[in-house]
Amino acid sequence: MSVVTEGIDDEEFIGDETEAERQARLETEVVLDQTSQAFVDQIVAKMLVIVDEVSGHPLYGYQRPFAARMIESLIINDGATLTALFSRQSGKSETVANTVAACMIMFPRLAKIFPELMGKYKEGLWVGAFAPVEEQADNLYGRIVARLTSEHALEIMADPEIDDTVHGRGRSISLKRSGSLVRKQTCHPRATIEGRTYHLILIDECQGADEKMVNKSIGPMGASTNATMVFTGTPSYEKGVFFKQIQINKRQATRRGARQNHFDADWKEVSKWNENYARFVKKELLRIGEDSDEFKLSYRLMWLLDKGMFTTGERLDDLGDVSMQAVHAYHKSPVVIGIDPARKQDSTIVTAVWVRWDQPDEYGYFEHRILNWMDLQGMDWEAQYFRIVEFVRNYNVLAVAVDEGGVGDVVISRLKVLLPDIEIVPLGSQRPEQSKRWKHLMELLDRGLLSWPAHAYTRRLKTYKRFRQQMEDLEKKFEGPYVLAAAPNAADAHDDYADSLALACVLTKDYTMPEVEQSNSPFR
């Protein structure tokens, strides 16, 4: 089997890596050729059959991709950190327990058949089951033990080709002949964690896990084995290691060829597979209310963060127009354009926005629609200028707003020469100017006067994925009377698309409405 650790096209990656980070990524990414991937897929498919046999019932449709990715990560040894955000009592711990039990039984046998691929499990699969407190750790550990000691599992282990038995009790349990074991431990910040070694590290109810404990004490337990880590839980009021890893996994998923490392299933998705679950949650919806904190956290998978987010994923879903594709040229009425020039670790983003000039609402706000984005990443400025001009000339442009901070002054001067017939509007980076445009963007979002292309084809585009992820990441900050927004302080987090959009939209706040023909929206 050929396992290649070559990087894929750097154009698809967010260009904020240091050379050391880039080199580390290239050396650790696991990319399989087509034949090898097909072979791994066959093993995963057969393992899923064993998972169903061990549990006594098949996994639901929303559980199966998560279980498959766990198995695949262990097989190809990519050391992935997986996250699963499932609604309460939807079977996330059950999925993990069933999958782990099946792998503990089968992997030592597969290691003998495929020593090059799975040889590190020849002495067993070693699993650490963690949770913030002892009682929560008992829940996950108890489920794994229950699966291993179930009638179905014992029947499988009684097969002459396997011939294994369960041994141990208390904090750990093992399979006597293969050497597989699972041990429960807590990740409470005051706990003293022994220096164990694991192939698979599980952290249940991860929203309550201590970040320092996870990163400093638990993570290194998988260093010598390149362990796979699995974080499961539900949303909470605070950002922690679980939330941050989810955002990392979502951002990485926007890269071409990346494997899916985050999985989620809200109550509506779970209800498609379980009628009893649907009935119960609907009764809870009536009892405590759809907009109650408890329902949002437990069933709608909404993070109620203390710092506050600029918008929510649910709101972004509502505002995206699934019937609209990106519009690459438009001259029927004036549009506005925002340009956020690249700084050292960012991309230059250009956003074209259509405005319904002839129908302001009672407060003077216009309907806005994003027509298209252009992402100029890893390109020198001389080339960027002409790409920007080419993009702008595809539209009937009223004005172009440019952030004059950083290299903005130079960009503005150059564009005034290259686009003499279009007004180039410099917008400051001081807090009052930024607050004005962020407040205006918030108003448009709140009033439902902003939308964008979200057709199935458009959703596959790199520009759409980055726009959506950056809007979902965007944090709202209050500094005195000013409302600001910025990307979180995390790897791969950016706010270039949001900045570019805010720059374009603020042009309509105080701008004199141009003379335009009254017509129906061409995007309806």
352 with 477, same domain: the answer is yes
Q: Which of 235, 265, 295 is the last residue of a domain?
A: 265
Categorize the per-residue pLDDT at 255 as very low, low, confident or very high, splitting at 50, 70 and 90.
Answer: confident
Burial class for 93, CB neighbours closer than 10 Å (0-12, 13-18, 19+): buried
CA-to-CA distance for 170 and 160, rounded, in angstroms?
Answer: 28
Residue 273: inside a domain: no
Q: What is the pLDDT of residue 5?
A: 33
Range of the domain at 498: 314-510
Please state whether beta strands 166-167 and 172-175 pair in parallel, antiparallel, or not at all (unpaired): antiparallel
Q: What is the pLDDT of residue 524?
A: 53
CATH number at residue 72: 3.40.50.300
Residue 516: inside a domain: no
324 with 261, same domain: the answer is no
The mean-pLDDT minimum among 90-104, 106-120, 203-217, 434-448 falls in 203-217
230 with 322, same domain: the answer is no
CA-to-CA distance for 177 and 200, rounded, in angstroms?
Answer: 19
The string of pLDDT tens digits covering residues 401-457 is 999 877 788 899 999 999 999 999 999 989 999 999 999 999 999 999 999 999 999
CA-to-CA distance for 261 and 76, rounded, in angstroms?
Answer: 14
pLDDT at residue 240 greater than cutoff 70: yes
Categorize the per-residue pLDDT at 521 as very low, low, confident or very high, splitting at 50, 70 and 90.
Answer: low
Q: What is the pLDDT of residue 107?
A: 96
Burial class for 426, CB neighbours closer than 10 Å (0-12, 13-18, 19+): middle
Q: What is the pLDDT of residue 169?
A: 74
380 with 251, same domain: the answer is no
Sign of torsion, CA 207 213 216 221? negative
pLDDT at residue 6 greater than cutoff 50: no
H or E segment and range at residue 23: helix 19-28
Residue 293: inside a domain: no
Q: Which of 265, 300, 325 is the last residue of a domain?
A: 265
217 with 356, same domain: the answer is no
Q: Can you tell me the mean pLDDT for 491-516? A: 82
Q: What is the pLDDT of residue 29?
A: 75
Residue 461: inside a domain: yes
Residue with the larger pLDDT of the pair 82 and 239: 82
Residue 235: inside a domain: yes
Q: Which of 244, 265, 286 is the last residue of a domain?
A: 265
User: Total structural domains in the chain?
Assistant: 2
CA-to-CA distance for 458 and 454, rounded, in angstroms?
Answer: 6
242 with 325, same domain: the answer is no
Contact 79, 30 (CB under 8 A): no
204 with 330, same domain: the answer is no
245 with 323, same domain: the answer is no
The string of pLDDT tens digits covering residues 156-204 is 999 988 888 998 877 889 998 899 999 998 887 777 776 789 999 999 9
211 with 343, same domain: the answer is no
pTM, rounded to two decimals? 0.63
133 with 23, same domain: the answer is yes
- pLDDT over 70 percentage in the chain: 91
Residue 368: inside a domain: yes
Closest CA to 231 of 217, 251, 216, 211: 211
Q: What is the pLDDT of residue 333?
A: 94
The residue type found at 128 is: G
- pLDDT over 90 percentage in the chain: 63
Please state whether beta strands 262-265 and 81-86 pair in parallel, antiparallel, or not at all (unpaired): parallel
Residue 216: inside a domain: yes
The residues, any chain, with a CB within 8 Å of residue 96's CB and separated by 6 or more, are 70, 84, 140, 143, 144, 202, 204, 230, 232
Q: What is the pLDDT of residue 21?
A: 65
Give the tokens for residue 86. Answer: 């499932």
Q: Can you tell me the mean pLDDT for 57-81? A: 95
210 with 329, same domain: the answer is no
Give the tokens for residue 95. Answer: 């999925």
Q: What is the pLDDT of residue 518?
A: 52
Q: How far apart are the first and last CA of the chain?
A: 51
CA-to-CA distance for 466 and 493, rounded, in angstroms?
Answer: 10
pLDDT at residue 395 greater than cutoff 90: yes
CATH number at residue 366: 3.30.420.240
Contact 377, 16 (CB under 8 A): no
204 with 325, same domain: the answer is no
Looking at every residue in the chain, the average pLDDT score rounds to 88
Q: Where are the alpha helices (DSSP H) in 253-401?
A: 267-271, 275-288, 293-298, 313-319, 381-392
Q: What is the pLDDT of residue 394?
A: 97
The residue assigned the tokens 């410099």 is 426
Contact 72, 65 (CB under 8 A): no
CA-to-CA distance for 73 and 71, rounded, in angstroms?
Answer: 6
pLDDT at residue 514 greater than cutoff 70: no
Residue 338: inside a domain: yes
The mean-pLDDT minimum among 18-22, 205-209, 312-316 falls in 18-22
The string of pLDDT tens digits covering residues 268-319 is 999 999 999 999 999 999 999 998 989 999 999 988 875 567 888 888 999 9
Q: What is the pLDDT of residue 343?
A: 73
